[in-house]
Chain A
Amino acid sequence: MKIALTTFLTLLFAGILFAQDEKIGLDITLTYTRSADGSVTLQAEVYDEEEYEPVTDLEFQFISVAGEEEEVLGAAYSDENAMVVLSGIPFEKILRDMSDNMVFRLVGENDIYSGFSELQIRHVELSVNFKIEDSVKIVSVDLTGKDEDGETVGVEDGEVYFFVPRLYGDLAIGDVWTDEDGYDQMRFPTDIPGDESGNLTVIARITESEDFGSLEVRVVKDWGLPTMTEALDERELWSPNAPLWMVITFAILITGVFVHYIWVIVNLYRVKKLGR
């Protein structure tokens, strides 16, 4: 009996220990996005390494790392699409080294899964400039970052796409590739409708760069074609107020009908009065 019990307990503990050692690893794809307002979004897609199934409802911690120093940025759970998102992180909260490199660590663990991922991003500044040369409208970008000594230098090989927001999405208008000075330019299209004053929002966007992550800058420029919207104070079928002829016809018809209804009701009242 004792032997049987001892064997059982040994197997049980061995099983628990074995199970703890055999947690399923995670395949994590971490991305960095800095939006135009300067806030940062960290997003990860999480799958288990064995079956490559989406991992849902697992808590992750987002940590900013610089050398020995660590700063917990926040925590989030993976959703039904295996996405973990931490958005609205103030840029100032992120730790950077002298060269403006940033390291993000994502750590997630529970009884079944365990895994982490690190992402290194070089912080760069993107600026958009407009100029007119020989009546040609030019839009240019300056992509700058810091070198090992902390000096600001141009960043080469940055592919920047330009967009203009439209009703159903962003309209791509071209792209540039920065040179060794971090500069490139392109001719700006002259046929894009803007608002009443010709204002356009121009988006310069770097998308999922291995070095810089994703970032975008938005600038409003009056280089669009002014869109003249007709004031809807006219009375038309499509305006808020109906055409006058319609209102008058309607009023005459309804008044005509209800006057006769009232006439009949008055007659009924007189019938009642006569019956007293």
Chain B
Amino acid sequence: MKNTREKIFEAILPSMRDKGIKFKLWNAFLIAIILWGLYALWIQVTVGHIVTGMRDHIVWGIYIVNFIFFIGLGYAGSVIAALLYFGNIKWRTPIVRVATVMMVISTIIGPIYIFMEIGRLDRIHHLFIYARLQSPIMWDVIAVITYLIGCIIFFYLRVIRDFSFLSNKEIFSGFRQKLYRWLSIGYCEKPEQNRLLKQSNDILGVLIVPIAILVSSILSWIFGMTLRPGWHSSIFGPYFVLAAIYSGIGVVVVLLYIYRSIYKLEAYITDTHFKYLGYAIIAFGAGYGYFTFSEYFTDWYTSKEWNARLIEKLFDPQQYGWATFFTTVGGILIPMIVIGIPQLRTTKSTVVVSLIMVIAMWVKRYLIIIPTLENTLVPMQDLDPVVSKYSATWVEWALVSASFAAFALVFTWIMRFVGIIPIYTSSELEEGARIYSNVQTSSS
């Protein structure tokens, strides 16, 4: 078992000690984007929200789109990790690691974009002073905070034993070793310690899935419990949950492939991982596609005036027709066809369609928010397009770009610190032994 751990450690060590020029350039690139975002934020704070495309009618822009996207990834991370954990899936370990790290980072980055959206940040405390439990916004605040705490504990439980292992590695600096030791809270493989950790993992694993589903549903109810066409829908809860998990799997696929390619981890992140994740994409894509079809079809069929106007807006090529086409074809059909047909299904094709799907899912959130807000409830004539149409400004794009850069940067550094392959869990699982034999075979 110990040899297995050492082998895994040797395999992931390059990713944990990368000091190459590419790594530095990558970090510089991300930091530059984040600085650009901070400059945009400074402009927005000093000049005001007039520098954004949001106006009286369209009060939510791409900040909210980004919030929903990232918070969805956060929910997806825990659901993927917990389901694989309880399914006792042998090949789960790298997926669980990527999913849990994605979960923590996304759950932190997402809500930050609520603050970007709010015009009067000086009144943010009013949210608590004048809290009304009946408001879905209040549910969301409480749910996101509760979920974030759960995520951090869930993630921490899954890395404690690896911290213990890494704290003994002299290849790391003294400070880093001390940090590992402090974070490992004295874990030394005592049976009672293992029992307590397993019990804790089981508790959080059971707990985090319903919390994630509930939190995702609450987010959807912020929209669903208004009377706006396009939002007021009873299927929005499960629709959001499915969309979150679906896009989350896509991000996991892309991240796994990047790490596998850069650090030559083919022995640990195998084609099998991508094949199974591809199956998950088909399953969730089918569910998500079904909900999308049901949502549009019922709106179109009832032909209620408001809904009909929104459907026309969404399907008119002069308005959002091409975006709707992209989210439907690129986000649902292409991934399912490419992964579903064995002749087309390769690791690379799975990654490419996952990337397209993730972009499409971001655009889909845009289509949920913006066209609905542009579809005014009161008939209005001769409205200035400046107030009746939304177009994101460079400030908003800079801040949204900064969120992706921040995600990538923090992910890079967390993975550098904890490693992309869970050392302890992998070595314990039968798959770990198989991987070990693979490594031996490949090295010989």
**Looking across the interface, which residue of chain B has its beta carbon closest to that of A270?**
B196
B134 lies within 8 A of chain A by Cβ: yes
B211 to chain A: which residues have CB within 8 Å? 257
Determine if A247 and B133 form an interchain contact, defined as CB atoms under 8 angstroms apart.
yes
Q: Is the interface of B mostly helix, strand, loop or mixed?
A: helix
Task: Determine which residue in A267, A271, A276 has the highest number of CB atoms from chain B within 10 A of its CB, and name it.
Answer: A271
How far apart are the CA atoms of A237 and B139 in the complex, in Å?
14
Determine if A264 and B200 form an interchain contact, defined as CB atoms under 8 angstroms apart.
yes
A273 to chain B: which residues have CB within 8 Å? 186
Q: Pick from A242, A264, A272: contact of B157, CB below 8 A.
A: A264
Instruction: Name which of B55-63, B187-195, B283-291, B365-373 contacts chain A.
Output: B187-195
Q: Given the known A-B contacts A274-B186, A274-B190, A275-B185, are A264 and B204 also in contact in the complex, defined by CB atoms under 8 Å?
A: yes
Determine if A271 and B193 form an interchain contact, defined as CB atoms under 8 angstroms apart.
yes
Q: Pick from A246, A258, A260, A267: contact of B196, CB below 8 A.
A: A267
Known contacts A257-B146, A263-B203, A275-B193; 5 additional CB pairs below 8 A are A260-B203, A267-B197, A268-B157, A270-B196, A275-B187
How far apart are the CA atoms of A261 and B211 in the complex, in Å?
12
**Looking across the interface, which residue of chain A has its beta carbon closest to that of B191?**
A274
Pull 25 A–B residue pairs with CB atoms less than 8 Å apart, ordered by A: A238-B134, A240-B132, A242-B133, A243-B134, A250-B142, A254-B142, A257-B146, A257-B211, A260-B203, A260-B204, A261-B149, A261-B153, A263-B200, A267-B199, A268-B157, A268-B196, A271-B196, A271-B197, A272-B186, A273-B186, A274-B190, A274-B192, A274-B193, A275-B185, A275-B186
The 4 closest A-B pairs by CB, nearest first: A275-B186, A242-B133, A272-B185, A264-B200
Determine if B150 and A257 form an interchain contact, defined as CB atoms under 8 angstroms apart.
yes
Minimum CB–CB distance for B3 against chain A, Å: 24
Determine if B132 and A242 form an interchain contact, defined as CB atoms under 8 angstroms apart.
yes
Task: Determine which residue in B185, B190, B199 has the highest number of CB atoms from chain A within 10 A of its CB, and name it.
Answer: B185
How far apart are the CA atoms of A253 and B133 in the complex, in Å?
13
B207 lies within 8 A of chain A by Cβ: yes
How far apart are the CA atoms of A173 and B153 in the complex, in Å?
68
How far apart are the CA atoms of A238 and B132 in the complex, in Å?
10
Determine if A264 and B132 form an interchain contact, defined as CB atoms under 8 angstroms apart.
no
**Looking across the interface, which residue of chain A has its beta carbon closest to that of B164?**
A275
Minimum CB–CB distance for A208 against chain B, Å: 32
Determine if B190 and A275 form an interchain contact, defined as CB atoms under 8 angstroms apart.
yes
- A interface footprint on B174-194 (CB within 8 Å = 1, 0 otherwise): 000000000001111010110
A237 to chain B: which residues have CB within 8 Å? 134
A270 to chain B: which residues have CB within 8 Å? 192, 196
B203 to chain A: which residues have CB within 8 Å? 260, 263-264
**Looking across the interface, which residue of chain A has its beta carbon closest to that of B149?**
A261
**Looking across the interface, which residue of chain B has its beta carbon closest to that of A235?**
B134
Q: Given the known A-B contacts A257-B150, A263-B203, A268-B185, are A242 and B134 also in contact in the complex, defined by CB atoms under 8 Å?
A: yes
**Looking across the interface, which residue of chain A has its beta carbon closest to that of B198?**
A267
Determine if B207 and A260 form an interchain contact, defined as CB atoms under 8 angstroms apart.
yes
Determine if A271 and B207 form an interchain contact, defined as CB atoms under 8 angstroms apart.
no
**Looking across the interface, which residue of chain B has its beta carbon closest to that of A240?**
B132
Minimum CB–CB distance for A269 against chain B, Å: 8
A243 to chain B: which residues have CB within 8 Å? 134
Determine if A261 and B185 form an interchain contact, defined as CB atoms under 8 angstroms apart.
no
B160 to chain A: which residues have CB within 8 Å? 268, 271
User: Considering only CB atoms and an 8 Å cut-off, how many residues of chain A contact the other chain?
Assistant: 26
A265 lies within 8 A of chain B by Cβ: yes
Which chain A residues numbered 178 to 207 have a C-beta less than 8 Å away from chain B? none
Task: Determine which residue in A246, A257, A264, A268 has the highest number of CB atoms from chain B within 10 A of its CB, and name it.
Answer: A264
B192 to chain A: which residues have CB within 8 Å? 270, 274
How far apart are the CA atoms of A276 and B142 in the complex, in Å?
37
B190 to chain A: which residues have CB within 8 Å? 274-275
B186 to chain A: which residues have CB within 8 Å? 271-276
**Looking across the interface, which residue of chain B has its beta carbon closest to that of A263?**
B203
Determine if A271 and B185 form an interchain contact, defined as CB atoms under 8 angstroms apart.
yes
B193 to chain A: which residues have CB within 8 Å? 271, 274-275
B153 to chain A: which residues have CB within 8 Å? 261, 264-265
**Looking across the interface, which residue of chain B has its beta carbon closest to that of A276?**
B186
How far apart are the CA atoms of A48 and B185 in the complex, in Å?
84
A247 to chain B: which residues have CB within 8 Å? 133
Q: Given the known A-B contacts A272-B186, A276-B186, are A254 and B146 also in contact in the complex, defined by CB atoms under 8 Å?
A: yes
A242 to chain B: which residues have CB within 8 Å? 132-134
A271 to chain B: which residues have CB within 8 Å? 160, 185-187, 193, 196-197
A253 to chain B: which residues have CB within 8 Å? 214
Minimum CB–CB distance for A54 against chain B, Å: 25
A261 to chain B: which residues have CB within 8 Å? 149-150, 153
Determine if B134 and A275 form an interchain contact, defined as CB atoms under 8 angstroms apart.
no
B134 to chain A: which residues have CB within 8 Å? 237-238, 242-243, 246
A240 to chain B: which residues have CB within 8 Å? 132
Minimum CB–CB distance for B183 against chain A, Å: 11
Minimum CB–CB distance for A44 against chain B, Å: 33
B204 to chain A: which residues have CB within 8 Å? 260, 264
Minimum CB–CB distance for B139 against chain A, Å: 8
Task: Determine which residue in B134, B150, B185, B187 has the highest number of CB atoms from chain A within 10 A of its CB, and name it.
Answer: B134
Minimum CB–CB distance for B278 against chain A, Å: 34
A274 to chain B: which residues have CB within 8 Å? 186, 190, 192-193, 196
A268 to chain B: which residues have CB within 8 Å? 157, 160, 185, 196, 200
How far apart are the CA atoms of A242 and B139 in the complex, in Å?
12
Minimum CB–CB distance for B136 against chain A, Å: 11
**Looking across the interface, which residue of chain B has its beta carbon closest to that of A237?**
B134
A272 to chain B: which residues have CB within 8 Å? 185-186
A257 to chain B: which residues have CB within 8 Å? 146, 150, 207, 211
How far apart are the CA atoms of A237 and B196 in the complex, in Å?
43
- B interface footprint on A128-169 (CB within 8 Å = 1, 0 otherwise): 000000000000000000000000000000000000000000
